[in-house]
Chain A
Amino acid sequence: MPSDTPIILVENLTRRFGTFTAVDRVSFQVERGEIFGFLGANGSGKSTIIRMLCGLLAPTEGNARVAGLDLRTQADRIRSHIGYMSQKVSLYANLTVRENLLFFGGLYSLQPQGILTRQGLLFPRLGLSSQDRVLVRALPIGLKQRVALICALLHDPEIVFLDEPTAGVDVINRRVFWELIRELAAEGKTLFVTTHYLDEMDYAHHVGFIDRGKLIGFDSPLGLKLAFAGGYPVRLYHDDPHVLAQAEQWVRSAGYTVVPSRQDSGTATQLLLADGSPVRLDRLRRDLHAIDPTLDFTVELPSMEDVFAGMINQHRDKSKAHELSAE
Chain B
Amino acid sequence: MNSLQNKLNRLRTLLWREFVELRRDRFTLTILVLIPVLQITLLAYAITTDFDHLPLCVLDRAHTRESRQLLDHIAATGYFTVVPLQDLSETSPLFGREQCRAALLIPADLGELIANRKEVRLGLLLDASDTTLATSTEGFLTAITQAFYAQTRLERTPLTDRNLQPEERGGVAPVRRVLFNPTLSGTAYTLPGLLGMICLFLTVLITALTLVRERDAGTLEQLLVTPVTSTEVVLGKILPFGVVAMGAVVFCVLVGWLIFGVRPAGSVFLLFAITPIFLLIGLSQGLLISSLAHSAMDALERSVLTMVPQMMLSDFLFPLALMALPFRIIGEAIPLTHYLRITRGIYLKGQNFSELQSEIAILCLFLVLFVTGAARTIKKQA
Contact = CB atoms under 8 A, between A and B. Distances in A.
Does A associate with B in a complex? yes
B1 A104 contact: no
Interface stretch (B11-19, B191-199, B200-208, B238-246): B11-19
Interface string A106-130: 1111000000000000000000000
A231 B20 CA distance: 60
A107 B227 contact: yes
Given A56-B382, A90-B219, A95-B20, A106 B12 contact: yes
Contact of A108 (B14, B224, B227): B227
Nearest to B22: A94
A136 to B, nearest CB: 10
Residue from A76, A79, A86, A102 with most neighbouring chain B CB atoms (10 Å): A79
Contacts of A106: 9-10, 12-13, 16
Interface of A: 54-57, 76-77, 79-80, 82, 84, 86, 88-95, 99, 102-104, 106-109, 151
A89 B17 contact: no
Contacts, number: 73
A92 to B, nearest CB: 6
B69 to A, nearest CB: 69
B223 A92 contact: no
B227 A80 contact: yes
Nearest to B3: A109
Given A94-B24, A95-B17, A103-B17, A79 B221 contact: no
Interface string B215-243: 00111011111111100000000000000
Residue from B5, B9, B14, B225 with most neighbouring chain A CB atoms (10 Å): B225
B343 to A, nearest CB: 35
A241 to B, nearest CB: 61
Interface in B148-169: none
Contacts of A108: 226-227
A89 B1 CA distance: 27
A305 to B, nearest CB: 28
Contacts of B24: 94
Interface string B68-98: 0000000000000000000000000000000
Interface string B1-38: 11001100110111011001100110000000000000
5 contacts: A56-B221, A86-B221, A88-B217, A92-B219, A109-B5
Nearest to A103: B17
Contacts of B219: 90-92
B218 A107 contact: no
Contacts of B221: 56, 86, 88, 90
Contact of B10 (A76, A99, A109): A109
Nearest to B225: A84
